[in-house]
Amino acid sequence: MDARKKRILVTGGAGFIGSHLCEQLLNDGHEVICLDNFFTGSKQKVVHLLDNPYFELVRHDIIMPYYIEVDEIYNLACPASPVHYQYNPIKTIKTSVMGSINMLGLAKRVKAKILQASTSEVYGDPELHPQPESYWGNVNPIGVRSCYDEGKRCAESLFVNYYSQNHVPIKIVRIFNTYGPKMEPDDGRVVSNFIVQALKNEDITIFGDGLQSRSFQYVDDLVEGFKRMMKTPDEFIGPVNIGNPNEFTMLELAQRIIELTGSRSKIVYLPLPEDDPIQRKPDISLAKEKLDGWEPKIQLEEGLTKTISYFDELLKIS
């Protein structure tokens, strides 16, 4: 095995983001072990990789220990959309907490570097805008979203304590809203919801007044941020925000998608869900400084066009 080829474990590797990461790591010449219990992931997302001799797919739940020799671990396993993580909240917490303990234990034993895919949800409904990594957040610890928010916050704590106590080389990234091909049409995320509704000429449902804002990042930009974070010196552990700082309201997003799809959809308004953040926007100055000048390359119109094309094909097949 040459010096740059690594054995890399990706937990949640058959999910939306994980499948893109597996593909990129293989393209970079690495050997990839994709671990997934298929709770929200799908074999379909990685089936095209199965013929690659350097790719291995393993059905496993990281709530249970897993033993393997690897150089690096990307810990992405966890339901990430409200529909999925609220479906089984105890399972969600277990994946974040027990799953992190198991993966950190593995990293400690085999001396692997491990990256935690954390989330902008650790900031809750932020009172500081945009959100820098130094902001501690405004989270409801007993709300409907707490299984995810607090699970991910606890995972970050576990990671930094394994680093300080056991010298495990860790990296923490906080992912902001990400979209792109391989999203599930029914995952409850706003981009996939709007695109599917628009392609079917159904009413586009906006929660609240539509003036709440988000920043939308195309998946390829996120994967590039992951890889750059993994290459940073061991003493830099993060957390680092990875997201697109361009901000759009839900209404602007819906109107943009209607235009790009040529849809006949009308916009309808529904009550805002509990604890839904009003604003979410990353401060990415730390990422630019530490990740070799990283910043998003694919802006909303280009990313939406690619994603709409994916869903258009998917809906034709189904």
- What is the DSSP code (8-state) at residue 121? G
Q: Binning pLDDT at 50, 70 and 90, where does residue 83 land?
A: confident
Q: Is the pLDDT of residue 80 over 70?
A: yes
CA–CA distance, 92 with 288 (Å, rounded to integer): 31
Q: What are the backbone dihedrals phi and psi of residue 291, each rounded to the nearest 5 degrees, phi first?
A: -110, 45
| Structure tokens belonging to residue 59 | 């059905």
pLDDT attached to residue 1: 43
Percent of the chain, pLDDT > 70?
Answer: 98
At 275 the pLDDT is 62
Q: Is 171 exposed, middle or buried (0-12, 13-18, 19+ CB in 10 A)?
A: buried
Query: What's the mean pLDDT in 21-50?
Result: 96
pLDDT at 2 over 60: no
Which distant-in-sequence residues (6+ apart) come within 8 Å of 51 by Cβ? Answer: none
The contacts of residue 11 (CB under 8 Å, 6+ apart) are 18, 35, 36, 62, 73, 74, 75, 76, 77, 99, 103
Two tokens, residue 43: 């074999």
Q: In whole angstroms, what is the distance from residue 36 CA to residue 33 CA?
A: 10
Please choose, from the candidates 284, 174, 291, the residue with its C-alpha nearest in 3D space to the C-alpha of residue 233: 291
Question: Is 30 a residue whose pLDDT tops 90?
Answer: yes
Looking at residue 60, what is its pLDDT?
98
pLDDT per residue as tens digits for the range 9-20: 999 999 999 999
- Between 70 and 2, the more confident residue is 70
Q: What's the rounded mean pLDDT across residues 152-179?
A: 98
Q: How far is the C-alpha of 270 from the C-alpha of 250, rounded, in Å?
A: 12
Dist. CA 274–CA 66, nearest whole Å: 36
pLDDT at 273: 74
* Predicted pLDDT of residue 4: 78
Split at pLDDT 50, 70, 90, the class of 159 is very high
pLDDT at residue 138, rounded to an integer: 92
Evaluate the CA torsion angle 167, 156, 158, 223 in order and state its sign.
Answer: negative
Q: What is the CA radius of gyration of the chain?
A: 19
Query: Which residues are annotated as catalytic?
Result: 148
- Sign for the CA dihedral angle at 228, 147, 274, 40 comes to positive
Q: Quick check: 73 and 106 in contact, CB under 8 A?
A: yes
Give the separation between CA 157 and CA 153, rounded to whole angstroms: 7
pLDDT digits (tens, 9 = 90+) for 237-252: 999 999 999 999 999 9
Q: Is the pLDDT of residue 306 over 70?
A: yes
The overall average pLDDT reported for the chain is 94
Go through the chain and tell me how many residues it has: 318
Residue 50 pLDDT exceeds 70: yes
73 vs 84 pLDDT, higher one = 73
Cβ proximity of 121 and 92 under 8 Å: no
- The pLDDT score that the predictor gives to residue 47 is 97
